[in-house]
A = this chain, B = another copy of it.
C-alpha cells in the first residue's frame, strides 16, 4: 500500500521534472536560437508546460499520496525524499491557481512594460505594472503564510529558512565592514584595467573562457556554451548543463567572467546525482547555494592571484600577442579594481553587495507600502548617493536596470549576497580539508576543489536546507564572518591598506 503510494509519488515527480526540463529546453532555445516569428507560439507552449507541471504538483491526490507515504514510517532515504517533496508541495499548493495565473499574466505584462520603459528611459511607463505586481506579491506572501512580516513569505520561495530579521542583521554587518573599506580604497591609487581594455578577436575570447572552465572541470560532453544577450546557465538534468556568455569587443573581462560565473552554476548541476534527476532531491539546495557556486568559481578562484599565475600563459596562447606584456599580477589587479558604479552586474566584488543591500531595503519598503511606487526612482537615486556618493543621471542607469521586479521576482536579490557568504564558508572549509589551495591553483589543479564541492555540496542535492548544509560543511549556519574576513584580507593586500 505504502509502496504503491510511493511509486505513484515518484512517477508524479518524474512527470513534473520532465515537464519542467522540457520547458527549460524551450526557454534556452528561445534565448539562443528562436527566430522572432516563433515568439507567440513559444509563449503558449511554455504556458502549457508550466501549467501542467503546476497542476500535477498541486493536485489534491499529491497531498494524499504524500500523507500516506509519510505515515508508513519509511526508511531514512525515503524520508529525505518525502521531506523535500512536501516542501515543494506545500509551497505550491498554498497559492491558489487563480493567483498563479494572475501573477503569470502580470509578469508577462510587467516585462513588456519594463522593456518599453527602458526604450523610453521613463520609469512612469513601468510604474502601474509594478504596482500591480506588488499587490499580487502581497497576496502571494499572505497565501504562503508568515508571522506578520510579509517579506518572509516571499523569501521562502528562494531560501527556505531565511527570515527578514536575520537578513537585516547580515546586511548590517556587511555594510558596517564594507563601507569603511571602500572609503579607504577610494583614497588609494587605482590599479589599471588597461590589460583587459583592448580590441580582441571574439574567437580568442571564447577560447580563453573555454580553456579556463575546462581546467575547472566543466564537462563538455554534458554541456555546451552559446552566446545570448544576457548570460545565463540552465540544465535539463546533470547530463546536459549549458551556459551562455556575451562578448564585449573592447573589454575582455565581460565575456571571460560571465563564462566563469555561469560555469560555476553548471558545475553544480553536472554534480547533482543522476539517480535523483527526476525527483525533488535532484536540484540545488536553494538559490543562494546555487549562487555560492558561481561566485566561488568566478571570484574566489577566477579573480585570485594563483589563478592568474597559472592561467596567464594559457591566455597568451588563446590570444597571441595581446597579453605578452601583462604579468599575472597585472591581470590579477585588473580583475579586482574596486570602484563605486551605477550598474550592479558590472560592479566589483566589494561594492556588489551594497547594490544588493540597496535593493533589499527598497523592496521591503515597497512591499510594506512605506514607499509609494511613484517615489521609487527618487528613493533609488538618493540611496545610491548615500551609499556610493554617485547619483544616476536617468532611470536606465538607476531603477530600470534589473529585470527581476518586472517579472514579479521580489526577495530574490538577497540570494546573491547570501551566495557570496556561503561561498566563503565553503572555501574556508576546503582550505581546512585540502590544505594550500593557492599552491594547487598555481599548478592549475582545480580538481581537488571541485571534488570537495562535489562530495560536500553537489552530491547532497536538495536533501539538506541551506543552513543544514552550511552546518554540515563548515560547522556553522549561514553567517558573513568568513566572507568579510576574505574580502578584508584580499582587498587590503591589493590596495596596500594597513
Interface of A with B (CB < 8 Å)?
Answer: 14-15, 18-19, 21-23, 25-26, 29, 33-42, 44-45, 47-49, 52, 219-224, 236-240, 277-278
Task: Please state if A240 and B18 are interface contacts (CB–CB under 8 Å).
Answer: no
Q: What's the Cα separation between A47 and B41 when bound, in Å?
A: 22
CA distance A41 to B237 in the complex (A): 7
Bound CA–CA A223/B34 (angstroms): 8
Q: List 27 A-B contacts (CB under 8 A).
A: A14-B44, A18-B44, A18-B47, A18-B49, A21-B45, A22-B26, A22-B45, A22-B49, A25-B25, A25-B26, A25-B29, A33-B224, A34-B240, A35-B222, A35-B223, A35-B239, A36-B221, A38-B240, A39-B239, A40-B239, A41-B236, A41-B237, A41-B239, A41-B240, A41-B277, A44-B278, A52-B52
Tell me whether A15 and B239 are in contact in the complex, defined as CB-CB below 8 angstroms, given that A25-B25, A35-B224, A37-B222 are known contacts.
Answer: no
Give CA–CA (A36, B221) in the complex, Å. Answer: 6
Which of A35, A40, A47, A278 counts the most chain B CB atoms within 10 A?
A35
> B residues within 8 A CB of A23?
22
**Are B48 and A221 neighbours in the complex by a CB distance under 8 Å?**
no
Give complex CA distance A26, B237 in Å: 14
A19 contact from B21, B35, B48, Cβ within 8 A:
B48
Most B CB within 10 A of own CB, among A25, A36, A40, A222:
A25
Each complex incorporates copies of this chain amounting to: 2
Starting from the known contacts A35-B224, A38-B237, 20 additional A-B residue pairs (CB-CB under 8 Å) come to A14-B48, A18-B45, A18-B48, A19-B48, A22-B22, A22-B45, A25-B25, A25-B45, A29-B29, A35-B220, A35-B221, A35-B222, A37-B222, A38-B222, A38-B239, A38-B240, A39-B239, A40-B237, A41-B237, A44-B278
Q: Name the CB-closest residue of B to A19.
A: B48
Assess whether B18 is in contact with A236, with CB atoms less than 8 Å apart: no
Instruction: Give the residue name and chain of the B residue nearest to A220 (CB).
Output: B35
Given contacts A22-B26, A48-B15, A48-B19, contact A42 B278 (CB under 8 A): no
Contacts of A278 in B (CB 8 A): 44
Can you name the residue of chain B whose Cβ is closest to the Cβ of A36? B221
Complex contact A38–B219 (CB within 8 A) = no
**Interfacial chain B residues near A47, Cβ < 8 Å:** 18
- Using Cβ atoms and an 8 Å threshold, which residues of chain B touch A14? 44, 48
Contact, CB under 8 Å: B37 / A221: yes
- Chain B CB count within 10 A is highest, among A14, A37, A236, for A37
A457 to B170, CA, bound (A): 66
Q: A36 vs B239: C-alpha distance in the bound complex, in angstroms? A: 8
- A224–B38 alpha-carbon span in the complex (Å): 11
Known: A15-B48, A48-B14, A52-B52. A21 touches B41 (CB 8 A): yes
Residues of B near A35 (CB, < 8 A) are 220-224, 239-240
With a cutoff of 8 Å between Cβ atoms, the chain B residues found around residue A49 in the complex are 18-19, 22
Contact B220 A38 (CB under 8 A): no
Residues of B within 8 A of A39 (CB): 239
- Top 4 nearest A-B pairs by Cβ distance? A38-B240, A37-B222, A41-B237, A37-B239
Contacts of A37 in B (CB 8 A): 219, 221-223, 238-240
Tell me which residues across on chain B come within 8 A of A15, comparing CB atoms. Answer: 48, 52
